[in-house]
């Protein structure tokens, strides 16, 4: 029997996972159409002046998700990249001469918590026990559900689990049952602020992120995050997936309720099935006709978006002191910045920011004696993005970086590139210039997210951070596998 032809639009983590999972069944002929000149989506890489810059994701959390993915194909992550566990996991700057290193060892984390709030190590043990349960149920069960119907969740165990998973309790109120010290609360809340929504609007289910952070640890693939992409592409090609780069899609041609052809800048391709790993809104509004959209413009305008980002890629011609691989700068008000992202969207007056210095761990990403810096400011989506605004924030964060680490940096910058809303739109057709997709609010969880299946085009599917299970690298990796499972159920 002839194999069914699958066209996958986009080669981000979700697109790669969907393509490989389908090709590995032996039932499908799979081709990936990629707008950009290289794979990876937001996890692309670029090189300049001897520096190698990961363009997007820089945190390697949930190593079990990556292990499970490669294991599906009889592979190991070690076949493609060397993982090292970072210790300390990261450094947090609260002010001048006021910083904390978050250790990898649990005994040291307990000691750190005790030093801030007596009795908090015992509370941390209870908190993490609950978070571990949420992680096991959430990551091993719930997030692998396609969320197409409530009936998927009508299971006695899951109904009982709803209470234990704290789906209807806010993250903010949940953590305050365990901790009171301001610094501890900020440490616990930072994954929510940077990737989700206000802690007050986020289900306490997402304390599973704290389990990933504290218990499973922070890792780094030597050579950079793009090593994951390169490994995934190698597996895909081994399974027979074909890639077409620098070939943006301009139209999906639908006949009799089925996607029949995909038009690109270089030609047309016939398809039995189309999997859209590109931006969901872009696919609906730019590639399909109005009558074939799942959702109205009003629907999209009402979605709560996770943050966008203003990013600076810097090459520095000297080694820097007082930095770790990952560094969080919480020297300004945590809540004020969060509100300027989520409640009254505007450019932040006193932003929090994050600095990754991978050259501290990995000498291959910078010339000898130099430092590679990735600086990220989480900002609201859909803001006016100009060169003047970018420069204003560059000066702002560089002054704080120099002050808090006690050294000159700016005068040693030999390479500088910025990236923000306009770039996300240009490179990824990102809705409102988003960086991370939809916020993890209760009303945007599971079946309340945009559907992974078109309601009007029988053989069109969606995958990635704007559909289930949500934003972040591991969820995107899972999203592609979930969509592949749905395709296989319906077309094999």
Residue 65 CA to residue 63 CA, distance in Å, equals 5
Question: Per the domain annotation, does 90 fall within a domain?
Answer: no
String of DSSP letters for 408-438: --GGGEEEEEEE-HHHHHHHH--GGG-SS-B
Sign, CA torsion 183/188/189/193: positive
Cβ atoms of 281 and 303 closer than 8 Å: no
Cβ atoms of 85 and 216 closer than 8 Å: no
Confidence check: pLDDT of 331 > 90: yes
Same domain, 418 and 310: yes
- DSSP E strand boundaries for 147-278: 219-221, 242-244, 249-255, 258-264, 267-270, 273-276
Average pLDDT along the chain: 94
User: What is the domain-level CATH number for residue 313?
Assistant: 3.30.519
Same domain, 445 and 383: no
- Mean pLDDT score, 217-241: 98
Per-residue pLDDT reduced to its tens digit, 45-85 = 999 999 999 999 999 999 999 999 999 999 999 999 999 99
Same domain, 120 and 191: yes
pLDDT tier, 31 (very low <50, low <70, confident <90, very high otherwise): very high
Query: Smallest Cα–Cα separation from 310: which of 292, 337, 271, 288?
Result: 337
- Tell me what pLDDT residue 153 has: 57
Confidence check: pLDDT of 8 > 90: yes
- Tell me what pLDDT residue 161 has: 65
- Mean pLDDT score, 84-109: 98
- Tell me what pLDDT residue 157 has: 56
Share of the chain above pLDDT 70, in %: 96
Same domain, 163 and 202: yes
Strand, helix or coil for residue 252 = strand
Same domain, 377 and 470: no
Same domain, 205 and 229: no
- Tell me what pLDDT residue 1 has: 76
- Of 216, 234, 260, the residue that ends a domain is 216
- Tell me what pLDDT residue 359 has: 98
Residue 302 CA to residue 490 CA, distance in Å, equals 32
Question: Per the domain annotation, does 33 fall within a domain?
Answer: yes
Between 354 and 191, the higher pLDDT residue: 354
Confidence check: pLDDT of 156 > 60: no
Same domain, 309 and 293: no
Token output for 309 = 């980002």
Q: Tell me the CA distances in angstroms from 88 to 70, 125, 130, 195, one per residue in order.
A: 27, 20, 24, 21
Same domain, 320 and 376: yes
pLDDT tier, 160 (very low <50, low <70, confident <90, very high otherwise): low
Number of domains observed in the structure of the chain: 3
Same domain, 395 and 351: yes
- Tell me what pLDDT residue 147 has: 72
* Lowest mean per-residue pLDDT among 20-29, 342-351, 365-374: 342-351
* Lowest mean per-residue pLDDT among 187-196, 416-425, 429-438: 187-196
Per-residue pLDDT reduced to its tens digit, 282-297 = 999 999 999 999 999 9
Confidence check: pLDDT of 109 > 90: yes
Same domain, 279 and 186: no
Token output for 408 = 């000159």
- DSSP E strand boundaries for 204-345: 219-221, 242-244, 249-255, 258-264, 267-270, 273-276, 308-316, 326-329
Same domain, 398 and 321: yes
Share of the chain above pLDDT 90, in %: 87
With residue 373 as reference, give the H or E element that holds it.
strand 371-379
Same domain, 180 and 206: yes
- Of 181, 216, 251, the residue that ends a domain is 216
Query: Smallest Cα–Cα separation from 275: which of 4, 9, 5, 3?
Result: 9
Per-residue pLDDT reduced to its tens digit, 166-210 = 888 999 999 999 999 999 999 999 988 766 788 998 999 899 999
Between 38 and 448, the higher pLDDT residue: 38
pLDDT tier, 464 (very low <50, low <70, confident <90, very high otherwise): very high
- Tell me what pLDDT residue 188 has: 97
Question: Per the domain annotation, does 232 fall within a domain?
Answer: yes
Token output for 86 = 């970072």
- Tell me what pLDDT residue 163 has: 64
Question: Per the domain annotation, does 84 fall within a domain?
Answer: no
Question: Per the domain annotation, does 32 fall within a domain?
Answer: yes
Residue 220 CA to residue 205 CA, distance in Å, equals 26
Question: Per the domain annotation, does 411 fall within a domain?
Answer: yes
- Of 428, 448, 483, the residue that ends a domain is 428
The pTM (predicted TM-score) of the whole model is 0.96
User: What is the domain-level CATH number for residue 284?
Assistant: 3.50.50.60
Q: What is the domain range of residue 338?
A: 305-428
Question: Per the domain annotation, does 348 fall within a domain?
Answer: yes
* Lowest mean per-residue pLDDT among 245-249, 316-320, 342-346: 342-346
Confidence check: pLDDT of 366 > 60: yes
Question: Per the domain annotation, does 326 fall within a domain?
Answer: yes
- Tell me what pLDDT residue 3 has: 96
């Amino acid at each position: 029997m002839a194999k069914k032809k699958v066209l996958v639009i986009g080669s981000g983590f979700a697109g790669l996972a969907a393509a490989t999972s389908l090709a590995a069944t032996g039932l499908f002929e799979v081709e990936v159409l990629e707008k950009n000149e290289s794979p990876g989506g937001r996890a692309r890489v670029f090189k300049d002046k001897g520096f190698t810059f990961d363009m997007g994701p820089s945190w390697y959390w949930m190593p079990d998700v990556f292990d499970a993915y490669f294991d599906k194909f009889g592979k190991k992550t070690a076949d493609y990249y060397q993982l090292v566990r970072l210790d300390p996991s990261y450094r947090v700057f609260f002010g001048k001469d006021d910083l904390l290193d978050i250790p990898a060892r649990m005994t040291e984390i307990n000691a750190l918590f005790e030093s801030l709030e007596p009795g908090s190590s015992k509370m941390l043990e209870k908190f993490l026990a609950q978070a571990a349960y949420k992680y096991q149920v959430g990551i091993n069960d719930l997030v692998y559900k396609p969320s197409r119907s409530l009936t998927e969740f009508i299971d006695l165990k899951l109904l009982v689990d709803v209470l234990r998973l704290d789906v209807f309790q806010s993250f903010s109120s949940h953590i305050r049952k365990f901790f009171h010290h301001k610094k501890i609360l900020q440490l616990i809340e930072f994954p929510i602020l940077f990737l989700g929504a206000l802690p007050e609007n986020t289900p306490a289910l997402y304390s599973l992120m704290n389990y990933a952070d504290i218990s499973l640890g922070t890792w780094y693939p030597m050579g950079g995050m793009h090593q994951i992409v390169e490994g995934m592409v190698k597996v895909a090609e081994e399974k027979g997936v074909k890639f077409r780069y620098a070939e943006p899609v301009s139209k999906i041609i639908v006949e009799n309720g089925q996607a029949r052809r995909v038009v690109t800048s270089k030609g047309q391709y016939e398809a039995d099935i189309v999997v859209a790993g590109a931006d969901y809104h872009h696919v609906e509004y730019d590639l399909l006709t109005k009558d074939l959209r799942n959702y109205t413009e009003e629907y999209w305008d009402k979605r709560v978006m996770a943050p966008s980002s203003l990013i600076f890629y810097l090459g520095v011609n000297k080694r820097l002191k007082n930095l770790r691989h990952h560094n969080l700068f919480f020297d300004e008000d945590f809540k004020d910045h969060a509100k300027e992202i989520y409640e009254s969207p505007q450019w932040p007056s006193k932003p929090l920011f994050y600095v990754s210095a991978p050259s501290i761990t990995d000498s291959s990403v910078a010339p000898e004696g130099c430092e590679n810096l990735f600086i990220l400011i989480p900002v609201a989506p859909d803001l006016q993005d100009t060169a003047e605004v970018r420069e204003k924030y560059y000066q702002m964060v560089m002054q704080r970086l120099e002050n808090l680490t006690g050294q000159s940096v700016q005068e040693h910058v030999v390479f500088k590139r910025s990236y923000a809303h306009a770039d996300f739109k240009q490179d990824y057709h990102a809705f409102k210039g988003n960086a991370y997709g939809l916020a993890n609010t209760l009303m945007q969880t599971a079946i309340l997210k945009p559907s992974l299946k078109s309601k009007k085009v029988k053989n069109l599917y969606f995958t990635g951070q704007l559909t289930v299970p949500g934003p972040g690298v591991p969820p995107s990796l899972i999203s592609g596998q979930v969509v592949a499972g749905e395709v296989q159920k319906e077309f094999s």
